[in-house]
Structure 1
Amino acid sequence: MLSQFLFKKIDNAQLVVFRIFYGLLVSAECYGAIATGWVRRTLIEPKFTFSFIGFEWLQPLPGNGMYVYFGIMGTLGILITIGYKYRYSALAFALMWTGVYLMQKTSYNNHYYLLMLLAFIMAFLPAQKDASLDAKLNPKLHSHAMPNWVRWTIILQLFIVYTYASVAKLYGDWLDFSIIELLMKSKSDYFLIGDLLQEKWVHKIVAFFGIFFDLLIVPALLWKPSRKIAFVLAIFFHLFNSIVFQIGIFPYLSLAFTVFFFEPQTIRNLFLKTKKVVVEQTQILPKNRKWILGILGGYFLVQLILPLRHHAFQDDVLWTEEGHRLSWRMMLRSRSGTIRYRVVNKKTDKVTFIDLGDYLTKKQRRRVACYPDFAWQFAQHLKKDYANKGEDVQVFVTNKVKINQGEYYKFIDPKVDLASVPWKHFAHNDWILPSQKE
């Protein structure tokens, strides 16, 4: 019965229109990253780039190479939009975006992770079979149908993202609105709405609307009686996020996802202007269905487990940050800290205090001061830097970290040589001191 449901043929208008939106938006994201200076600030100007641990070999291209890199990705977005060499274009974009995602995390955003997942999903979906150059050049490719599992793959991915985002908000600093107040302080100079965003009643609305929207939006869009109201609320929610938090294309990508919840013929009438499509139903199941079900089952099992992994680590994820990434814990905390690096020559015992400004940008210095993986990686970098000068050194840090509007507490054990300890991906790093907050 499950196979019959998932492999039933349905109208592919939703996927085709989403492909067009997706291609336009990723193209705008890549070209916009060049135009706004994001590429320059994040990938060209820094002397040292913080990649994901284990991917240190993946570094930005020298000189102005990253402008070319993002220019190619933007062009791939256009090719995706028009459906030309779609499989190659979509897969190339997925690989290149993954490269950007892994080579730097100073500007980490959960939405970059979502786009990476979506890029690979889209590369393997039959999104080029209508309203595309591929279908025009090869009429045998043209089709108005797709298997039902395609639509439900997107919907289930969204459901996981929104549900985990909602549940993560059920903690003290969100429920007492203090984190909302902190996030809004930096928006006080916004034209027209700056003062409004400082009001307590606005913080309460944002807090509760955020919880219930994330929890209910997918079911509300699936249920026909509530679909239009949910869509209107989605427009308000995502435009609010776009204006207030300025997070690029992602509010608009989230709105583009809503095409999967409306009737295919409605989508055709609005965007494709084609006549009514009747999809011929056949009961013949594809021979590779077990492979498809196995891959989808394995993928979603990982998606369900990853956001929960922090429960297996010691202490609170808000303090340690271990297990925070890849878990849809969005806009939940603000971290600040102070840090001082002390380099000790093993032979001479000479002590050198590091001026972070000699190595890092302002944004990188903020990350190093309060995120454990950044602090550890910079210690490794210092060890290599001094080794190149012929010195074998130890690296110690003294730092304090504050979460949200709390107090500053000691974060890293000052007696541990960070340059000599390994990073643990799947266990607690013992040199992170226990949280002292009651």
Structure 2
Amino acid sequence: MKKWLSESIDNSGLVLFRVLLGVLIMAESFGAILLGWVEAVFVQSKFTFNFIGFDFLQVLHGEKMYLYFFVMGIFGLLITLGLFYKFAMTAFTFLWSAVYLIQKESYNNHYYFLILICVIMIFLPANGKFSMDAKLFSKVKQTKIPRWMPYLLLFQVAILYFYAAIAKLYPDWLDGTFSKILLNGITQRQFLLDIFNQKWFLLTYAYAGILFDLLIVPALIWKKTRKLAIIASFGFHLFNAYSLKIGIFPFLALSFIVLLYDTIPFKFLNSKEEINAVTDINTKFFTLFFVPFFIVQIVLPLRHHFIKGDVLFTEEGHRLAWRMMLRERKGAINIKIVDKKTGMFHYHNYASELTQKQIKLLSHSPDIIWQYCQRIKNESKKPISIFVECSVSINRRPYLKLIDEKVDMAAVDFDYFGHNDWVLLHDIK
């Protein structure tokens, strides 16, 4: 295996992936402006709910975010052209990471996935040919890479799919309950609903999802099943792109197919000059960086198994764990503000300062509830206590209390890696 991974291969697959990635970065960045995403998240809101500990990123708000996303789109163009590639990829990675960390209102797993892929791409010589860099700087020219380089990217994809499959191994997925909720939410056409509501179809959809996530990467790597796996990938991801509206992720996932081929049958990628720069690669650096990198990626999604309670209800350990499209979550919330000096109380009018998307998130997310309570406390001109009345429904079950109503939310801390005692525990059956 080590010998096989160390073999020199043509770098056309990696080069073509760079081009596709750059195009998708442009689509994500410019599309966010043109389709109103930037306006909805950063302009219409008074603030955003950042990841806890990243409050300093609140400066990324308002109309300046149009320029911010435009600049990211330009970096996408530079990546596509292979012009100042290392700088463009590094700069985009930092800017996109900040976008991810500054807002949880539009949390999407592919935002996090894009960060990880870009981090890997920073260190890969994806501008070795078919790039402006290769034309301008002779030292950049390269037509060969070791096979393990594209497999760094494929390994990251494999981690995502594996944990996505494991996350589906819970009752509401296995019996088709959530599949019914999901499919009924993507269409109003009766003939489709008649099919989607058939038990056999719901179970087929549910188990096909698990099998796809578990088997797609091995099936793509194995040459005997690769063609069938490619067809399945296009069917699966294009259906998701059309029905679930999840941005660039389906197309990003399909882009990885080009990494599987040692040679790409496109003349514009073929170089008459064979330049093998494999011997110049600092494999020790790659080992020291990527071994810890992937250990973190393997361990991080496991953390909710070591946190008290069911992550399906508590949400503790849900993020960064590839728990994608798994449940419907609805909540109802009231926030009671008590004046510590007089004992007088009133219910906070959160609807007056939050967008509809923020209100929905606030109604069922413990970390958002805690953050908002801290914000109310910090903005108050007098000492107050804050008590939260919140109930949550999972997959249309009866509502259950999420927050301990006796706990002063203005006085408690938030434990990001453990259970917060003010989050109530329930068995979801």
SS in 1 for 2:217: helix
Q: Residue 272 of structure 1: SS of its match in structure 2? A: helix
TM-score (norm 1): 0.93
**Does structure 2 conserve the Cα–Cα contact (< 8 Å) formed by 1:44 and 1:60?**
no
Change (3 A) 1:273 1:76: closer
Q: Is the 8 A contact 2:186 2:243 kept in 1?
A: yes
Give the distance between the partners of 1:417 and 1:48, measured in 2 at CA: 24
Give the match for residue 131 of structure 1: 130
**What is the root-mean-square deviation in Å for CA atoms of aligned residues?**
2.0
For residue 360 of structure 1, what is the aligned residue in structure 2? 354
Residues 179, 405 of structure 1: 8 Å contact kept: no
Corresponding position of 1:103: 102
SS at match of 1:399: strand
Please show how residues 113-128 of structure 1 align to structure 2 within 5 Å: 113-128=112-127
- Spell out, residue by residue over 1:112-135, the C-alpha distance to the aligned partner (whole angstroms, 9 max, x if none): 110011111112211111000000
Give the alignment of 1:175-190 within 5 angstroms: 175-189=174-188
1:416 alignment partner in structure 2: 407
- Given that 2:142 and 2:277 are in contact with CA atoms closer than 8 Å, whether structure 1 keeps it comes out as no
Deviations 1:379-423 (A, max 9, x none): 01111121xxx2111111011111112211111000111111111
Residue ranges of structure 1 left out of the alignment (5+ in a row):
none
Q: Hey, what does 2:22 align to over in structure 1?
A: 23
Q: Report the equivalent of 2:424.
A: 433
Which of 274, 281, 285 is the aligned partner of 2:270?
274
2:256 counterpart residue number: 257
Aligned residues of 1:342 and 1:353 also touching (Cα < 8 A): yes
CA shift, 1:276, in A, is 7.9
Q: Does the CA-based 8 Å contact 1:188-1:198 persist in structure 2? A: no
Amino acid at match of 1:272: F
Alpha-carbon contact 1:10-1:279 (below 8 Å) kept: no
Contact kept in structure 2, 1:396 and 1:415, CA below 8 Å: yes
Q: What is residue 403 of structure 1 aligned with on the other side?
A: 394
**Counterpart check, 1:51 vs 2:47:** no
* Paired letter, 1:420: A
1:350 — aligned with what? 344
Give the 3-state SS of the residue equivalent to 2:324 in structure 1: coil
Gap change, CA 1:25 and 1:111, over 3 Å in 2: same
Whole-Å separation in 2 of the counterparts to 1:271 and 1:338: 59
Query: Which amino acid letter does the alignment assign opposite residue 266 of structure 2?
Result: L
Q: Distance in 1 between matches of 2:272 and 2:226?
A: 22
Residues in 2 aligned to 1:170 and 1:73: alpha-carbon distance in whole angstroms: 37
Report the Cα distance in structure 2 between the residues aligned to 1:437 and 1:169, rounded to whole angstroms.
15
2:382 to 376, 391, 406: 391
2:311 matched to 1:317? Answer: yes
What is the TM-score when the length of structure 2 is the normalising length? Answer: 0.95
Residues in 2 aligned to 1:30 and 1:10: alpha-carbon distance in whole angstroms: 33
Alignment check: 8 A CA contact 2:313 2:428 kept: no
In structure 1, what is the equivalent of residue 36 of structure 2? 37
Deviation, 1:165, is 0.6
Matches of 1:42 and 1:247, distance apart in 2: 16
CA distance, structure 2, for counterparts of residue 319 and residue 16 of structure 1: 43
Q: For the Cα contact (< 8 Å) 2:29–2:73, is it kept in 1?
A: yes
Q: Does 1:209 align with 2:208?
A: yes
Q: Deviations over 1:175-232 (max 9, x none)?
A: 1111111112222326985664444443222211110011000100111111001000
Q: Distance in 2 between matches of 1:312 and 1:190?
A: 43
Shift of 1:6: 4.4
Q: CA deviation at 1:281?
A: 9.7
Q: 1:431 to 1:156 in 2, by over 3 A?
A: same
CA contact (8 A) 1:337 1:369 kept: yes
Deviation at 1:270, TM superposition (A): 3.3
Native 8 Å contact 1:187 1:194 kept in 2: no
Residue 87 and residue 200 in structure 1: after superposition, are their counterparts in 2 closer, same or farther (change >3 A)? same
* Identity over aligned pairs, percent: 44
- Counterpart contact for 2:23–2:77, Cα < 8 Å: yes
Which stretch shows the higher mean deviation, 170-179 or 347-356? 347-356
2:309 counterpart letter in structure 1: D
> Offset of 1:140 from its aligned partner?
2.9
Offset at residue 7 of structure 1 (A): 4.1
Q: Distance in 2 between matches of 1:408 and 1:198?
A: 24
Deviation per CA, 1:356-395: give whole Å up to 9, x if none. Answer: 2112111111111111001111101111121xxx211111
Structure 1 residue 74 and structure 2 residue 73: aligned?
Answer: yes
Gaps in structure 2 of 5+ consecutive residues: none
> Aligned letter for 1:295?
F
| Contact kept in structure 2, 1:409 and 1:436, CA below 8 Å | no
